[in-house]
Amino acid sequence: MAADRSPILLRGLREAVDRVLVRARLIRDLLLPGGRTVSYGPHRSQRGELHLPPGSGPHPLVVLIHGGSWQKRHSKLVMRALARDLRRRGWAVWNIEYRRIGAGGGWPETFIDVGAAVDHVRALRAPLDQDRVSVLGHSAGGHLALWAAGRAALPPHAPGAPASGSSPTGFARAIALAGVCDLASAHREWRGGAVERLLRGSPIQVPERYALADPLAQVPLAMPVLLVHGVHDQTVSVRLSRNYARAAGAAGGDVELIELEGEAGSHRAHIDPRSGGWATVVEWRGRGACEPGEPRARTVECPGHTRLPG
C-alpha cells in the first residue's frame, strides 16, 4: 500500500519544489535589474532598462510601460519579471521610467517623457529590428502604451508629439493590460482621482488636455491592438476597455478584447509571468493579430497561475 502511494508523494514533492523554484525566479527577476540602464534625458526618472536576449540579432523589441496611477511610488521595477520572461522568449525589452505625479510628472511632463523614451529606441546601441517594435503597458501604463501608439497623429504642439521633421518610432502592435483606456470615463468613475491629478483638471476644466491625452480620442490606431482585462477588476473597471474596443471597432480598428474570469483577471495578476493573463498575451503574439474588421471580444476562464513553457 505504501509503495502504491510513493509515485503520488514523489509527484507532489516535485510539484512543490517546482513552485518554490518558480517563485524564487520571480523574486530574483523583480530585484535584480538584469538589463543595461540607459538615460534618454537629464532627469533621474528619464531612463530605462534595456534587456537583450542572446544572439546577434536583430531582435524584435517590446517597450514596457509600468502603471501605478501615474504616481511616484510605483516604478519600472514592477515590470522586470515580464521583461525577463520576454527576454527568455527571444525579445529585447526597453523597460522605461518616466516622471510621475509627485516626482516632477503629470501634465505635461509624463507625456513628454514617454514620447522621448519611445523615440529613443532609434538611438539605442543594440541590434534591434526597428520594424518589429511593440508597446505594452499595464494599468496607467496601458493608457500610456495606447497613447504612445497613436502619438504620431498628435498636433505638433502637443506634449510628447514627435518633433517636426523627425522619424518617430512606429509600433507593429499595442497591448494594454487592465488599461485605463478611457480617461474621461475613468474621471467620472473615480470622481476625479488619479486622472484629475494627472491632467490637473476635469474634462470640463481642461477639455483640450483630454483631447490630446485620452486614447479614446485617437481611435483607430494604425496597428493591431490587444486589450486584456479582468471581468471583476476592482482597481480599473473592465468597462473602460469595453468602451475602447467598441469605439475602435466602430472606427474600423483592428482590436481584440480578452476578458478574464476569476483570479487570472485580478489587477496585479497581469504583471506576473506565471499568470493566465500573461499566457493570453504570449498566445496572441504567437498566433498573430486579428484580421481587420469588427473587434473580437471573448471571455477566458484561466487558472490563477499558469506555469508557462520556456
Query: What is the average pLDDT across 61-66?
Result: 98
Q: If you average pLDDT over residues 1-23, what whole number do you get?
A: 53
List the grid coordinates of 14. 516535485
The dihedral formed by the CA atoms of 181, 83, 120 and 116, expressed in degrees to the nearest 10: 30
Rounded CA gap, 8 and 140, in Å? 45
Using 50, 70 and 90 to split pLDDT, how confident is the model at 163? confident
What are phi and psi for residue 20, nearest 5 degrees? -65, -45
**Distance linking the first and last C-alpha atoms of the chain:** 37
Residue 174 phi/psi, 5-degree rounding, is: -135, 135
62-84 average pLDDT score: 97
Distances in Å between the Cα of 45 and the Cα atoms of 86, 96, 99 are: 23, 9, 5
More confident residue, 30 or 296: 296
Q: What is the pTM of this model?
A: 0.84
Give the per-residue pLDDT at 299. Answer: 53
Model confidence at 276, pLDDT cuts 50, 70, 90, reads: confident
- Residue range 138-147, pLDDT digits in tens: 999 999 999 9
Q: Which residues pair with 64 in a beta bridge?
A: 95, 136
The pLDDT score that the predictor gives to residue 192 is 98
Which residues does 222 contact at the CB level (< 8 Å), separation at least 6? 152
Structure confidence at residue 19 (pLDDT): 45
Dump pLDDT digits (tens) for 81-115.
999 999 999 999 999 999 999 999 999 999 999 99
CA distances from residue 172 to 24, 149, 251 in whole angstroms, order as listed: 33, 9, 19
Residue 4 has what pLDDT? 62
Mean pLDDT of 278-294: 67
Residue 72: all three cell numbers together: 511616484
At residue 306 the predicted structure's pLDDT band, cuts being 50, 70 and 90, is very low
Tell me, what's the pLDDT at 288? Answer: 54
The answer, yes or no, to whether residue 155 has pLDDT greater than 80, is yes
pLDDT value at 42 more than 60: yes
pLDDT at position 119 over 90: yes
- The dihedral over CA atoms of 190, 195, 196, 199, expressed in degrees to the nearest 10, equals -170
Q: Chain-wide mean pLDDT for the chain?
A: 87
Share of the chain above pLDDT 70, in %: 82
Nearest to 65 by CA among 102, 101, 24, 111: 111
- What is the pLDDT at residue 166? 79
Say if CB 213 and CB 246 are below 8 A apart.
no
pLDDT band at 6 (very low <50, low <70, confident <90, very high): low
Q: Report the range of poorest mean pLDDT among 94-98, 166-170, 235-239.
A: 166-170
Q: Which of 131, 123, 121, 72 has the alpha carbon at shortest distance from 96?
A: 121
